[in-house]
Chains A and B, each alone.
Chain A
Amino acid sequence: MQQPLLEFDRLRVDFSLPGGTVTAVRDISFTVHEGETLALVGESGSGKSVSSTAAMGLLPDLARPSGAIRWHGGEGDEDLLTVAPGRLRRLRGNEISMIFQEPMTSLNPLHRVGRQIVEVLAKHTSLRGQAARARALELLEQVGIPEPARRIDSYPHELSGGQRQRVMIAMALACEPKLLIADEPTTALDVTVQAQILTLLEDLKQRYGMAILFITHDLGIVRHFADRVCVMRQGELVESGETAALFAAPRHDYTRMLIDAEPRGRKAPVAEDAPLLLEARDLRVRFPLGKRLFRPMEVFEAVRGIDLSIRRGQTVGIVGESGSGKSTLGRALLRLLESQGDIRFDDTALDGLDSTAMRPLRSRMQVVFQDPFGSLSPRMTVGEIIGEGLRVHAPALGRRERDARVQEALRDVALDPAMRRRYPHEFSGGQRQRIAIARALVLKPEFLLLDEPTSALDRSVQATVIALLRDLQARHGLTYLFISHDLAVVRALADSVVVMKDGAVIEQGDTETLFQAPREAYTRELMRAAFLDGEAA
């Protein structure tokens, strides 16, 4: 067994809030050893991030930590909770460094990236001036930034999310730390970029022989990268062990539930002669890039000539990374965006219809968006939100009938109808997404556009929403267009899949065929990144 490096000893973190004390972490004990990757796993609110920020002394002012976090990397044992502030600062960024979940906002937008790396070197090493710059350049090269000699003088906004995370890693590694705390470092990134960053971290770990405390909610990452796993739930450590052993034989119910929450199952196919419900030919969406004086208007084509057909009762999955045009495509199909090309819904040609002409059709085609927090009006009760569509599309309904329909919709999504008198902020993310689905269902639509409906949810909640969507489809004969970057979810839900990149279709076909034998290199790359290759899911 290697030497212990960082030891959490009955760490407890209380937050003293105006309404009383909230305990985020309850007496957890575990140890990170030299050179190992330890994954701290849990869903949102489990206290995993709070524990790691406590080790860095970066907790907010309201937090009251107790217990001990012992650092064995220095001379003698030090408790990071009580060590002198000056000593803690000498450890931070030097012996223990940290990368964060938000690569877009974690760099100072006003400083060039080179300067931000040099700042760490100047703080903790004797390198100055040209020598420090040379080392920064070397680090940028190591983390795989293209054209490091040019990028060293870039500002953060000139880099992509993945590149910014690479800069964060370069900064974290500048002083060759013994421990890297990585707090969901790939959650905000596209899957292919995520895979690159994980590979990079693995390489650098070997090279520098450092330990990694990896905080994540993604069990796919854990399975592939961690030596050992600690599972947290509601501030408590419920289970820990070697990765392989823990996945093979989880002892705690919660761990088992997390592992089982990985999307499973396949969709039953629809009859081959099911009628076409939605069809698009050579669909294009163009955005003006802003007019400039004395120059012709520049145009960005977000969707470049896509053909698509969906039969009644089918689910078509659209997968792609951010910026691939998948959401734009979905919105154009519903005429929420101006587009060129033919769109037919049932027997009606949609292209060219203005918003007034579309209105009667809206009740038949509905949409559920990604963000369950932003897409429900905070000033309306749940009943008002769900019932609003009925006021437009079924104005003849009396108040009592409308209320009955709202209750029915809530029961449909397995929520208590009594909830209709409450406001959205009183509900969790999963419940809100159910409300959003109820809002769409109350109009009894035939077609539902689901734009990343489960991306903002924890895996276990995600599983219940997916089960709900399946159930609703079976009961009401719904047709889905399911947009997602999550291949596992799409595989479990869709009859056929469209892979998009840069506004065009890379590959499309029957779900099973496409997953078993992807033809295009890009599709294979996506699957590898999502850990779906060679795995019996």
Chain B
Amino acid sequence: MPGYILKRLLQAIPTLWIVITLSFFLMHLAPGGPFDGERQLPPEIEANLLATYHLDEPVWKQYLIYMGNLLQGDLGPSFKYKDFSVTELVAQGFPVSLELGLWAIGLALLIGLPLGVIAALKRNSTVDYLVMGAALAGVAIPNFVIAPLLALVFGVFLAWLPVGGWNDGQWQNLVLPVVALSIQQIAYIARMMRASMIEVLGSHFIRTARAKGLTEAEVIWRHALRPAMLPVVSYLGPAVAGIITGSVVIEQIFGIPGIGRYFVQAALNRDYTLVMGTVVFYGALIVLLNLLVDLTYSALDPQIRHDD
């Protein structure tokens, strides 16, 4: 097992390198730079600034400098938030994004799984059609449409919840962004769980379980649930990635000071180091989460063993 983990981590290095390299050059292809403001800087000051951050060098040289610093764990200073390093900004924003993401994925599982199971058990009934219809809508409507609608209804018309802000993670501030972030995942998970549950219920070992004289509840609880959940577990990797990218939009809409918001601001400001810092961080996070998902999978399914 430790050998397997090591192997996976080693395999992640080329992946991350490609992601970093591509983002770096793509970003520099975009027109403009970090110091193109509305107010034109005096030429000497701008030249000084560019020289300080090596922005006057050719791009390939900047790339080498950046990679050199990165290997030493230095993500560089932010160009826009001049008093902070990128590491500090990520460290500040991540706990907020993490809290949002955990709630969202938790809520998605808590609602999505039972909905899928119920739909599977009552398949081709009104309940099934209602759940699957709602799920289809959930998959189809993007979260940047849902989020403002939620804010409008619950924040403005009903005035039950704040339309935005973080307020140190008060629950009132959490509800709308978490719901907006999880709706799509609830829909995916419910659809997936339904399909997988129907398949498992038709399998031979379920017939065996019934032939043993177990009650229907025992058959479902002991024999059907765990195997039916396996595809959902392997979906959790992509789901977390979806929630992370989703949070970029949601944090912006609700004005939440997470990494996602920094990411958007940084991209608009051409804050090169901050963009790269978040890309590196997201990349590493997704690699780690996928590893975690695979380890969980092998814990649930004895047929999968990760040898060294």
Using a CB–CB distance below 8 Å, which chain A residues touch chain B? 56, 58, 89-94, 97-98, 100, 102, 105-111, 119-120, 123-124, 155, 157, 168, 171, 292-293
Interface range on chain B: under 10, 10 to 19, 20 to 34, or 35 or more?
A: 20 to 34
7 A-B contacts, Cβ less than 8 Å apart? A92-B212, A97-B212, A100-B204, A105-B204, A105-B205, A111-B223, A293-B7
A106-B205, A292-B308 given; A58·B211 CB < 8 A: yes
Residue pair B303, A155 in contact (C-beta under 8 Å): yes
Query: Cα distance A288–B302 when bound, in Å?
Result: 24
Residue pair B303, A106 in contact (C-beta under 8 Å): no
Residue pair B302, A171 in contact (C-beta under 8 Å): no
Query: Cα distance A58–B211 when bound, in Å?
Result: 7
Which residues, 182 to 222 on B, are CB-close (under 8 Å) to A? 203-205, 207-215, 222
Contacts of B208 in A (CB 8 A): 100, 106-108, 168, 171
Query: Cα distance A93–B209 when bound, in Å?
Result: 9
Residue pair B204, A106 in contact (C-beta under 8 Å): yes
A-B interface, 4 closest residue pairs, ranked by CB to CB distance from nearest: A93-B212, A93-B213, A92-B213, A105-B204
- The closest CB in chain A to the CB of B205 belongs to A108
Q: Could you tell me the distance in whole angstroms from the C-beta of B281 to the nearest C-beta in chain A?
A: 28
Other 5 A-B pairs with CB < 8 A, given A168-B208, A293-B7: A92-B210, A100-B208, A106-B208, A171-B208, A171-B212
Query: Cα distance A124–B3 when bound, in Å?
Result: 45
- The closest CB in chain A to the CB of B223 belongs to A108
Query: Cα distance A120–B7 when bound, in Å?
Result: 42
- B301 on the A face (CB < 8 A): yes
Query: Cα distance A107–B226 when bound, in Å?
Result: 14
Residue pair B301, A110 in contact (C-beta under 8 Å): yes
Query: Cα distance A11–B208 when bound, in Å?
Result: 23
Using a CB–CB distance below 8 Å, which chain B residues touch chain A? 3, 7, 203-205, 207-215, 222-223, 226-227, 300-303, 307-308
Residue pair A109, B212 in contact (C-beta under 8 Å): no
Query: Cα distance A91–B213 when bound, in Å?
Result: 7
What secondary structure prevails in chain B residues at the interface with A? Answer: helix
A90-B213, A293-B7 given; A155·B302 CB < 8 A: yes
Residue pair A98, B303 in contact (C-beta under 8 Å): no
A109-B227, A110-B302 given; A93·B204 CB < 8 A: no
Contacts of A155 in B (CB 8 A): 302-303
Contacts of A97 in B (CB 8 A): 211-212
Residue pair A98, B302 in contact (C-beta under 8 Å): no
Query: Cα distance A102–B308 when bound, in Å?
Result: 33
Residue pair A89, B215 in contact (C-beta under 8 Å): yes
> CB within 8 A of B302: which of A109, A119, A124?
A109
Residue pair A56, B211 in contact (C-beta under 8 Å): yes
Q: Could you tell me the distance in whole angstroms from the C-beta of B276 to the nearest C-beta in chain A?
A: 31
Contacts of A94 in B (CB 8 A): 213
Contacts of A90 in B (CB 8 A): 213
Query: Cα distance A389–B7 when bound, in Å?
Result: 46
Residue pair B203, A98 in contact (C-beta under 8 Å): no
Contacts of B204 in A (CB 8 A): 100, 102, 105-106
Contacts of B209 in A (CB 8 A): 108
Contacts of B3 in A (CB 8 A): 293
Residue pair A100, B207 in contact (C-beta under 8 Å): yes
A293-B7, A293-B308 given; A123·B205 CB < 8 A: no
